Amino acid sequence: MKKKVQLTKLAPNCGCAAKVGQGTLAGVLGNLPKFCDPNLLVGTDTSDDAAVYKVSDDLAMIQTLDFFTPVADDPYDFGQIAAANALSDVYAMGGVPKTALNIVAFPKNMDVEILGEILRGGADKVMEAGAVLAGGHTIQDDTPKYGLSVTGFVNPKKFWKNYGAQTGDKLILTKPLGAGIINTAIKADLVSEEARTAVLASMKLLNRSACEAFRKFEIHACTDITGFGLGGHATEMAAASDRTIVIDTEKLPLFPDVEMYASMGLIPGGAYRNREYANKTGVKSSAVLWKEDVVFDPQTSGGLLAAVPEKDVPYIMEELNAAGLQAGVIGEVTDRQEWTLELR
């Protein structure tokens, strides 16, 4: 490359922190026409991770897309992270990715070798997932953006939704939290090398092994944790399941130095939008402030959050630990209270 460019300096919000807020989205989507098709098993009604369309009694398509601004300065890393993030929606439904298409926006005056590295990173991650990269679309834009449109396969009788959580279920999270806070510290040139290395490795990690571990058990509800943060996605799960989700903030798996950066106020703007939306549905909290910030911190290529029967938890955790994942049992599902989300 002719000149090294710090990609994260080119966007005010990095990765999934650039997502439009849940409240804004809900207002816009509520005015769109409703589509009725008996084969559309999952659409927009429950804010799920992807659409699911039944093709036959044994086959359904999972369709999703995701793209965002740079979340890493290295273009190859950025491509890998963006691809892993897009592929994650298929894993969150219990499916297997099959095809992918590139989505690209790129400045006309930027070195095209950077674009080549971004695309190479994405292609390598698609290949790692066992899927096929089959094309894409590019436009010129002042801010680089990259992601994928992904199609996956799943059995229409066995896929997971972001609702269906039952009273007494335990909540398992398969990756640490604090990616948005760490990435804010990176942009401010305040991050430790340990924290930088840990968050990059986690964002590049496919949720494939977590999905494969979960498939061996009964999963009542599942979603992946991305731009709306743990709090936002848990709120969606609770509301759609007509339950309350209780999160034990003492048991959250965290990236290194998250407490220090959160206490310094290195909180991305998306965290405040996520908190504001959750408060509209009701939040009860006795957690310390920095842990609340972590709960609402927008994640990029975060882990899977699953509501599972309590009896299966030891065996699921054994599988996740064997896969080398930093997973944790972080809470439980209760009957619906006056609030949707409780933080302890």
Contact 264, 12 (CB under 8 A): no
Three-class SS state of 124: helix
Q: For helices 269-281 and 289-296, what crossing angle results, to 10°?
A: 90
Q: Which helix (H) or strand (E) holds 261?
A: helix 258-263
Residues annotated as part of the active site: 16
Q: Which helix (H) or strand (E) holds 65?
A: strand 59-68
Q: What is the C-alpha separation between 41 and 272, in angstroms, rounded? A: 33
Contact 124, 80 (CB under 8 A): yes
Q: What is the C-alpha separation between 227 and 208, in angstroms, rounded? A: 19
Q: What is the C-alpha separation between 307 and 333, in angstroms, rounded? A: 8
Report residue 198 as tokens: 């840990």
Write the DSSP assignment of 76-119 as a string of letters.
HHHHHHHHHHHHHHHHHTT-EEEEEEEEEEE-TTS-HHHHHHHH
Determine how many CB atoms are found less than 10 A away from the CB of residue 5. 18
Cβ-in-10-Å burial (0-12, 13-18, 19+) of 91 comes to buried
Q: Which amino acid is at 118?
A: I
User: Around 284, how many Cα atoms within 13 Å sit in the side-chain half-sphere?
Assistant: 10
